[in-house]
Structures are given as C-alpha cells and as structure tokens.
Amino acid sequence: MRKSSVKYEQVNEEIMRALADIIRTEVKDPRVPEITSVVAVEVTPDLGNCNAYISVFGDEEVAREALVGLNSATGYIRSRLAKMLNLRHTPEIRFLIDRSIAYGVDMMSRIDEVMEKDNRSRELRGEEE
C-alpha cells in the first residue's frame, strides 16, 4: 500500500474516527480529559504501527498526563479498535501530542504584538495607516 493511495488514506481516516470515539466514550482514566481530540493518524503501509496525534485542552502538564493515561490504556484501546474495524492486523498505537494548535496560537499572539508595536511607532511618527 503506497502512502498516497486512496486505500491508505481511508484506513487512516477510519482509524482516526474509531480512536476518537473510543477515547471520547470508553476511556475512563481520570488523567485523560474529556476535551481530548485525535487530530491526525499515520499508519505505516504494513499496518503494523500507528502514530495518533492528540490535542488536549489545557497546559503542557495536562497534555503529559493525558498521554500517560492514553498509553496505559493502549491495550484496551487496541482491542476495541480491532472489534470496531475490519482489518487483518490491528496496528500498535503510539500516542503523540500535537502541538500545532498551541504553535498557531503562539504565532498569532506574536504577530499581534508586532502589529501593535508597529501601530504605536506610526502614531508617534504621525503617520496614517
């Protein structure tokens, strides 16, 4: 299965949907907050391994705790995934924190700071926008 194949993309999407459902409705670990979402899934072409990128509402400590909770529930999650999906082999799941949302928020705040400084310097020089 090539990485760009339609089948590969469909497998990634199905696993992502199933993981999101399992985490939202079945994982009862108190370390995993209710607002935990699966952002992306990358399955190796041989379906042996799966990287699941998660996003957690909260600070870095909350995200680390959620990761610990999900990793401790990996066996259960994998068995539920096997029952939900019709795959010959259920991949080993590795959960990773997706930092793209936090990165985007950080970049937006930096851009806002630069724009504010630029506007103040224009006002001091008496320029109009």
What are the sequence ranges of the domains in the chain? 6-98, 100-129
- 3-state class of 75 per DSSP? helix
The stretches in the chain having pLDDT less than 50 are 1-2
Indicate the pTM of the whole model: 0.74
Q: What is the pLDDT of residue 92?
A: 94
Q: What is the pLDDT of residue 128?
A: 58
Q: What is the pLDDT of residue 73?
A: 93
Q: What is the pLDDT of residue 103?
A: 77
C-alpha–C-alpha distance, residues 27 and 84, integer Å: 15
Q: What is the pLDDT of residue 13?
A: 93
Q: What is the pLDDT of residue 1?
A: 44
Other beta carbons within 10 Å of 101: 13
Reading the block at residue 22, the tokens are 């399992």
Give Cα 41 to chain centroid, integer Å: 8
Q: What is the pLDDT of residue 74?
A: 93
Query: pLDDT tens-digit profile of 28-57?
Result: 999 998 889 999 999 998 889 999 999 988
Architecture of domain 6-98: 2-Layer Sandwich (3.30)
C-alpha–C-alpha distance, residues 21 and 81, integer Å: 10
Q: What is the CA radius of gyration of the chain?
A: 20
The dihedral over CA atoms of 51, 105, 61, 42, expressed in degrees to the nearest 10, equals 0
Q: What is the pLDDT of residue 17?
A: 95
